[in-house]
Amino acid sequence: MRNEAEMFDLILNTAREDSRILAVYMNGSRTNKNATKDIFQDYDIVYVVEEVEPFIKDRLWIDRFGERLYMQYPEEHSGLSGDEFQCYGWLIQFADGNRLDLHVESVEHARENIMKDRLCEILLDKNGVLPSMDLSTDQDYWVKRPSQFQFLCACNEFWWCLNNVAKGLWREEMVYAQDMVNYLIRKQLLKVLSWKVGILTDYSVSIGKSGKYMNRWLTQVEWNEYLSTYFSADLEEGWEAVIRMCHLFDQTARYVGDKLGYEYNEAEGKNSLSFLEHVRRLPKDAKEIY
């Protein structure tokens, strides 16, 4: 596996040797000092070029980066619309284990967008075509303090959508129940847990994609409780995991509401959980819910 120095030499020497490439910048985890460093980190690289179209038409130019296992053309997957002549990408998994997410971008497009992501770091600028950048930071992704309205909406969404989970589990429709948990109520649990992290850190950190860094600030008990809310296709395991999720949500929402001075609708949570537990006890030949 080529090491970091070898990869950067290849990336930058390619730019130096190609007069069409005016500048190079990087974003993603490699510019984030708070991201975990490991062998799976991508190289998220953007070449700023005079014209994007010649790079698109030359299907062989990326061969210089090494033997590929497989790759994706994201713009082509989403449907070509003409915008690809401003920014076009190659997502490449190499045979040696490295991954390169490479884009070529017009000068106009780069100038318009580079300042929107403070994790961008300029590696090379031959002719000063890019604006100067401050040191890279993940501040754009820090947890934000919620308004009372946002807090109440998250709580209501969690407890209301629990209704769908209850009927899905009672019907033994595990695929549906899993979707209701992971695409609806888990998102709300993640929000309140992130707000707790924000309170503990004075809103100065990012919890990472999917909350993967939350264990840095939650207690080990809390983190284990959160992990225990994931479940397989076993029905009883699903019921138990969802009930644990409810208790963790209730506990965390109470904490966040108390610390922010926001009213938490305890009755809503109590009634929703009670309904879930009642549905769990319903016999399979039930003719009425109550």
Kindly state whether residue 251 falls inside one of the protein's structural domains: yes
Percent of the chain's residues with pLDDT above 70: 99
| Residue 84: per-residue pLDDT | 79
**Whether residue 20 is found in the same domain as residue 92:** yes
Q: Which strands form 43-49's sheet, in the order they lie side by side?
A: 68-72, 87-94, 99-106, 43-49, 21-27, 121-125
Lowest mean pLDDT among 130-144, 184-198, 264-278: 130-144
pLDDT band (50, 70, 90) for residue 83: confident
Structural domain boundaries enclosing 185? 142-281
Residue 181 counted as domain residue: yes
Q: Provide the domain count of the chain.
A: 2
Last residue of a domain, one of 113, 139, 165: 139
Does residue 287 lie in a domain region?
Answer: no
Tell me what percent of the residues of the chain surpass a pLDDT of 90. Answer: 94
What type of residue sits at position 107? V
Question: pLDDT category, 85, cuts 50, 70, 90?
Answer: confident
pLDDT in tens, 136-149: 999 999 999 999 99
List, in order, residues 6 or more apart from 88 with CB less than 8 Å away: 52, 55, 56, 75, 103, 104, 105
Measure the CA dihedral 83/88/91/96, to 10°. Answer: 180
The helix/strand/coil state of 49 is strand
Same-domain check for residues 99 and 32: yes
Tell me the pLDDT of the chain averaged across its residues: 95
End of a domain among 139, 171, 192?
139
C-alpha 44/C-alpha 120 separation (Å) is: 10
Shared domain for 123 and 228, answered yes or no, is: no
Residues 217, 162 share a domain: yes
pLDDT (tens digit, 9 = 90+) per residue, 8-36?
Answer: 999 999 999 999 999 999 999 999 999 99
Confirm whether pTM is higher than 0.85: yes
Q: Per 3-state DSSP, what percentage of the chain is helix, strand, and coil (rounded to 5)?
A: 55, 15, 35
